[in-house]
Amino acid sequence: MTAASASHRLLNFVQSALLLGLMAAIAWIAVTAIVGPETGLLMALAMVGGLLFAPALPRRLLLSAYQAQRLTGRDAPGLVAALAELARRAGLQRAPALYRVPSRLPNAFALGSPEDSAICVTDGLLNLLDGRELAGVLAHEIGHIANCDLWIMSLADMMSRLVSLASWLGQLWSAP
């Protein structure tokens, strides 16, 4: 795998913009139905502000929020070596840092930028998969980094969190 070409990045951007625009429209309709047009407009502006600033959050702050702990070659030699090899094959300048997140839910995610990225794996995933399967998960996350998907993924994540928050607030406001 090589770094993403300009046409591939443009196609990803157009597709992502369309999907995010559709998600934003659905979110705005749902929020407006729950809280009314005036509050819906304020929440929509807050969402746009959050979406604009979320990707700029420092990687260290996000890792701290997840209580992520760095895994080194001493902690997980096979995983760190596999990650370095995958990063080399993907043409990345350097391997992402590897972190463990204390959660029983099996999950993995990448964050940061291609120049300064990290991959997080949860305890649930580490306990569920063998080394070969974990290497496949790491390869998937490396693919996101190599194809410059991290920014758009963070926007989609932020949007889903804001819609969840709006849903929760709607349940509180509509409770008797």
Concatenating the DSSP letter of every residue in 94-144 gives SPPEEEEE--SS--EEEEEETTEEEEEEEHHHHHHS-HHHHHHHHHHHHHH
Q: Is 133 a catalytic residue?
A: no
Pick the catalytic residue from 85, 115, 133, 141.
Answer: 141
CATH of the domain spanning 6-174, picked from 2.60.40.3080, 3.90.550.10, 3.40.140.10, 3.30.2010.10: 3.30.2010.10
* pLDDT tens, residue order, the chain (176 aa): 445 578 877 887 788 778 777 877 777 787 777 777 877 777 777 766 766 666 566 778 778 888 999 999 999 999 999 999 999 999 999 999 999 999 999 999 998 878 889 999 999 999 999 999 999 999 999 999 998 778 777 777 777 777 777 778 777 877 66
